[in-house]
């Protein structure tokens, strides 16, 4: 039997993005420890990996310390959609802060490289467009989204302080809207919301006039970016934006989903949620120049794969 490339820990490994990352690492010959408390994820996402002898699953909440031996840590654990992170905002902040402290402590003890999946939400409702990594953001620290936005900002602070104080090998990625198979059908994210509603023939809900913009990155492209960042030189800490710079209005996305599903669902408009960003688009110059990475899968192709996934799982 061949020797594993290394031992990788993926926190939040049963989540949408985490499960794809576990799968890719296994395909590349790593031993993978998937850690998850299943707060916003499901075992279904990793069921197809359980027969792999290099794959191990542990039910664990990262707000408590973890004592394992690993070479690389991908720290993804944290509810990432408003429906999930606003259900228990105190726990969301604890997950972002205590969870990061515990994983950084593990990296310190083992000498592992550690990567944080931060978020474009650190930019808040941005006053700079597109968003570059040197922009400090426009975040409401006491609003209903602050548990996630400020939690991730605090996590970034902790990562860079551990790097400066303890010479930890850190990587910080700021993820923009990501979509694809294994999204939770009821997590409140716009792509899954629109696709699930369209397939069910139910009204598609658009907040505001639908003129707000988002940039949508297909999950396979994102995993390429995360791996490229983890494997970059020690001098590359980030933060680095990972996302697709193609910018679409929410109304344009709704039209595309309706066209690709062949649905006759009507659209209905509701007021914009508090602190919902009006424009969101990553500047990925740093990722291109530092990692040689940029997305290759366009929204139309990625949506087709996502719609097919939901057709098969919701049937």
Active site residues per annotation: 148
CA 28 to chain centre: 21
Q: Which position has the token pair 């990587």?
A: 171
Q: Report the alpha-carbon angle 131-239-55, nearest 5.
A: 120
CA–CA distance, 72 with 258 (Å, rounded to integer): 41
H/E run at residue 309:
helix 299-314
- The half-sphere exposure of 253 on its side-chain side, counting CA atoms within 13 A, is 30
What 3-state DSSP class applies to 305? helix
Q: What is the DSSP string of 254-267?
A: HHHHHHHHT----E
Could you say which DSSP state residue 78 is in? S
CA–CA distance, 247 with 130 (Å, rounded to integer): 10
CA–CA distance, 82 with 300 (Å, rounded to integer): 25
Q: What is the DSSP string of 207-240?
A: ETTS--EEE-EEHHHHHHHHHHHHTS-TT----E
């Amino acid at each position: 039997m061949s020797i594993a490339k290394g031992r990788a820990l993926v926190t939040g490994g049963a989540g949408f993005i985490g499960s794809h990352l576990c799968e890719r690492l296994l395909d590349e010959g790593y031993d993978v420890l998937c850690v998850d408390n299943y707060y916003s994820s499901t075992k279904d996402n990793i069921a197809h990996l359980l027969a792999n002898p290099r794959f191990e699953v542990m039910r664990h909440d990262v707000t408590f310390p973890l004592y394992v031996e690993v070479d690389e840590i991908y720290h993804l654990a944290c509810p990432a959609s408003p429906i999930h992170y606003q259900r228990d905002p105190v726990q969301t902040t604890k997950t972002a802060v205590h969870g990061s402290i515990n994983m950084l402590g593990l990296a310190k003890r083992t000498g592992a490289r550690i990567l944080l999946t931060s978020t474009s939400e650190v930019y808040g409702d941005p006053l700079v467009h597109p968003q570059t990594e040197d922009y400090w953001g426009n975040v409401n620290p006491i609003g209903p989204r602050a548990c996630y936005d400020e939690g991730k900002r605090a996590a970034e602070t902790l990562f860079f302080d551990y790097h400066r104080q303890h010479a930890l090998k850190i990587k910080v990625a700021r993820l923009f809207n990501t979509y694809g198979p294994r999204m939770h059908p009821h997590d409140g994210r716009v792509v899954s919301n629109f696709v699930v509603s369209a397939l069910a023939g139910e009204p598609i809900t658009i907040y505001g006039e639908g003129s707000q913009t988002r940039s949508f990155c297909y999950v396979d492209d994102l995993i390429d970016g995360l791996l490229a960042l983890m494997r970059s030189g020690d001098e590359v800490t980030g933060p680095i934006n990972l996302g697709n710079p193609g910018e679409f209005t929410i109304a344009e996305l709704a039209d595309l989903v309706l066209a690709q599903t062949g649905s006759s669902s009507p659209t209905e408009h509701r007021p914009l949620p508090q602190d919902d960003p009006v424009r969101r688009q990553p500047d990925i110059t740093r990722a291109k120049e530092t990692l040689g990475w940029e997305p290759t899968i366009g929204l139309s192709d990625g949506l087709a794969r996502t719609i097919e996934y939901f057709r098969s799982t919701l049937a």
